[in-house]
Structure 1
Amino acid sequence: MAGDHDAPVTSPDQHKPANMKALRIGAVVSAIILLLMTMGNHEGKVEDIFLALSAAGLILLLIVDWVLRRNGLRS
C-alpha cells in the first residue's frame, strides 16, 4: 500500500486500446478462421454449430460497434 500514493492519476478516457482498427480487423479474420474450421474431417455437427455461433457472435459485436460509431455513441 505504500506505493499507491505514487501512482499517476488518469482519467478513464486515457485507457483506450491502442489501435481499434487493428482489433476490428482481427475480429473479422478470427470469424473467417472460425468458419473455415467447420470444413474438416469431423463427423459430429456440434463442433460446426459451436464454431458458427462463435463467428456469428463476433460479427454481431462488429455490427453493434459499427452502428454505435455511426450514431456518434462510440469513438
Structure 2
Amino acid sequence: MKILSIYILFAALTMFIIIVVDVLSGIRLSDSLHSFYSVFRTTTMLETVCMISFLLLPVVQVAASAVKRRRSR
C-alpha cells in the first residue's frame, strides 16, 4: 500500500508542478488547466491503452504482493 501511495503522491506533485510553472510564467490558471486537459483529449487509442496500462502497473503490483502474502500464510 505504501508503493501505491507514493505513486499517487508523485503523480499529484507532477501535475501540481506543471500547473504552477505555467502560472509563474504568466499564464492564467484557467488557460493552464485547459492546456493540461487538452493533452489528454488529443491522444489516440493506442496511446490511451499505453497510459492506462502504465497507470495500472502499481495497482497490479500491490494486488499481486497482497495475494502472495495471503497464500504464504
Please give the range of the TM-score, normalised by the shorter of the 2 chains: 0.3 to 0.5
Larger radius of gyration: 1
The answer to which structure has the higher helix fraction is 2
Give the structure-1-normalised TM-score.
0.43
Give the structure-2-normalised TM-score.
0.43
Higher relative contact order (CA 8 A, sep 6+): 2
